[in-house]
Amino acid sequence: MAMAGLYRRLLPCPPAVDFASSQGKQLFLESIQNGTMEGFYRLVSYFQTQSEPAFCGLASLSMVLNALAIDPGRKWKGPWRWFDESMLDCCEPLEKIKVRGISFGKLVCLAHCAGAKVEAFHASHSSIDDFRKYVMKCSTSDDCHVISSYHRGALKQTGTGHFSPIGGYHVGKDMALILDVARFKYPPHWVPLTLLWEGMNYVDESTGQSRGFMLISRPHREPGMLYTLRSGG
Amino acid sequence: MAMAGLYRRLLPCPPAVDFASSQGKQLFLESIQNGTMEGFYRLVSYFQTQSEPAFCGLASLSMVLNALAIDPGRKWKGPWRWFDESMLDCCEPLEKIKVRGISFGKLVCLAHCAGAKVEAFHASHSSIDDFRKYVMKCSTSDDCHVISSYHRGALKQTGTGHFSPIGGYHVGKDMALILDVARFKYPPHWVPLTLLWEGMNYVDESTGQSRGFMLISRPHREPGMLYTLRSGG
């Protein structure tokens, strides 16, 4: 009798390298020694699984907000203020996101609304050199994190549009570590930056625009204040 | 106006060392180079936040089951088979755990029920040398993971009994990396093994027994089969 449902997908390698493989560990160690895993420590500390099949954008943003220690300004559970997807109820109704996912533009809106500083780049109005520059910038510090919006097809993965944060960079191999929030599907993996960029250049059929990436950092103002004001608290 | 609730707690250092501090990064790099972070890669790939204030045991077990690629044998969400706390509905009702937490013995029961191999050690019937031996064993491979059940008081942390998985070991400093599942409270941190052992020796008032640790690994039989049989699938 076949068991119902799916237990993960096999990660297509190449082009990916599994984070926990011996080759993945080697890339990781070299990147640490090269100073391009400085953002990894905080980000991986808040690595999470998207809690719904269409919540990749929300989970990616929630991880980054927690990694940047941005205070949501209101309680999550018990006495604790904390981000998870359920706290990101701004810009687009959660019930709608559950069915259709979220667009790049709406996720940028949500990051602002949650109190972060966001710089958004559509692939069609940016370049791979820009992308590499920002990935480097956020890999060599823990002041910012990059969320990439890409089509999985470019990486030979099943599925279509996806969001995930980037956990580090290997200069010599020009590879980025994707902390894939669909952890029930694929483990974290290294991919060639050029292919990830290709995936970001696929046009999103629902908006007619290319995908892209966003740089998220702490605002200069008190974190959480913006959200608090908007929600009238 | 004071904001309602709490935004994290300050990690008492010493005795702990924050994973993402420069000292924490140094311990991490030395441990990688020494071969005692081999279990880290898979475990951190499934690091999760306990979804309720009393779900530390369930979240620790869920991480370890996912890290060992144990198949729950039934669907979680969408088509995916995957562990989170809601899938651990065996041995003790989830509603009861939500209020009171879970005992060491019941968590061992739950690990068996979920299809894992478990070896459980009460601190009062074990020794720090045994504990160190098993922490070493699971830090130098990714075949097993250790969940520690301890009293936070030994580490000068607020709170009482807690469960968390151990993510690695530093031989020279005799320190263990705790991947604390209460991520809304403390970040991952290194602690002296001797103090963690002390915390495991505190008696649990509700059971009258000492706490302890458990070693979790894949069973020799087909993963998930035990659960499947029990649930009649």
- Establish whether A138 is a catalytic residue: no
Give the pLDDT confidence score for residue A232 in this predicted structure. Answer: 30
**0.90 surpassed by complex ipTM:** yes
- Chain B residues close to A53, C-beta within 8 Å: 77-78, 80
- Chain A residues close to B30, C-beta within 8 Å: none
Interface subset of A 174-213, CB within 8 angstroms of B: 183-185, 187-188
3-state secondary structure of B166: strand
Give the pLDDT confidence score for residue A137 in this predicted structure. Answer: 98
3-state secondary structure of B177: strand
Give the pLDDT confidence score for residue A103 in this predicted structure. Answer: 92
Give the pLDDT confidence score for residue A62 in this predicted structure. Answer: 98
The fold of the A37-75+84-230 domain, in CATH, is Cathepsin B; Chain A (3.90.70)
DSSP A6: B
Name the CATH architecture for the domain at B24-75+82-230. Answer: Alpha-Beta Complex (3.90)
Tell if the CB–CB gap between A228 and B3 is shorter than 8 Å: yes
Give the pLDDT confidence score for residue A229 in this predicted structure. Answer: 40
C-alpha closest to that of B87 among B104, B102, B74 = B74
Tell if the CB–CB gap between B77 and A53 is shorter than 8 Å: yes
Q: Which of A162, A170, A189, A204 is catalytic?
A: A162
Give the pLDDT confidence score for residue B221 in this predicted structure. Answer: 59
Phi and psi torsions of B20, nearest 5°: -95, 5
Nearest-CA distance B71 → chain A (Å): 7
| CA A51/CA A34 separation, integer angstroms | 34
- Establish whether A89 is a catalytic residue: no
Interface check B35 vs A, CB under 8 A: no
- Give the pLDDT of chain A (233 residues) as one tens digit per residue: 567 899 999 999 999 999 999 999 999 999 999 999 999 999 999 999 999 999 999 999 999 999 999 999 999 999 999 999 999 999 999 999 999 999 999 999 999 999 999 999 999 999 999 999 999 999 999 999 999 999 999 999 999 999 999 999 999 999 999 999 999 999 999 999 999 999 999 887 777 888 999 999 999 755 444 444 433 32
| CA B121/CA B107 separation, integer angstroms | 12
Give the pLDDT confidence score for residue B229 in this predicted structure. Answer: 40
**How many Cβ atoms from other residues are within 10 Å of residue A99's Cβ?**
10
Alpha helix (H) residue ranges in A75-114 = 94-100, 104-113
Q: Could you tell me if A102 and A67 are in contact, meaning their C-beta atoms sit under 8 angstroms apart?
A: no
Q: Could you tell me if B167 and B188 are in contact, meaning their C-beta atoms sit under 8 angstroms apart?
A: yes
Q: Could you tell me if A211 and A201 are in contact, meaning their C-beta atoms sit under 8 angstroms apart?
A: yes
Nearest-CA distance A131 → chain B (Å): 25
Q: Name B170's bridge partners.
A: B175
Strands (E) across chain A are located at 17-18, 117-122, 144-151, 161-170, 175-178, 189-192, 203-204, 209-210, 212-217
Q: Which of B112, B145, B151, B162 is catalytic?
A: B162
Parts of chain B with a pLDDT under 70? 1-2, 221-233
The contacts of residue B2 (CB under 8 Å, 6+ apart) are none
pLDDT digits (tens, 9 = 90+) for B35-76: 999 999 999 999 999 999 999 999 999 999 999 999 999 999
Q: Any idea what the Cα angle at residue B158 is, between residues B152 and B162, rounded to 5°?
A: 35
- Chain B residues close to A9, C-beta within 8 Å: none
Q: How far apart are the first and last CA of chain B?
A: 55
Interface subset of A 56-115, CB within 8 angstroms of B: 66, 69, 71, 73-82, 84
Tell if the CB–CB gap between B71 and A184 is shorter than 8 Å: no
3-state secondary structure of A144: strand
* Cα→Cα distances A53→A160, B65, B133, B134, Å: 12, 20, 40, 37
- Sorted by where each begins, the domain ranges of chain B are 24-75+82-230
- The residue in chain B having the minimum alpha-carbon distance to the alpha carbon of residue A178 is B45
Give the pLDDT confidence score for residue A231 in this predicted structure. Answer: 35
- Establish whether A56 is a catalytic residue: yes
| CA B213/CA B126 separation, integer angstroms | 10
Give the pLDDT confidence score for residue B230 in this predicted structure. Answer: 38
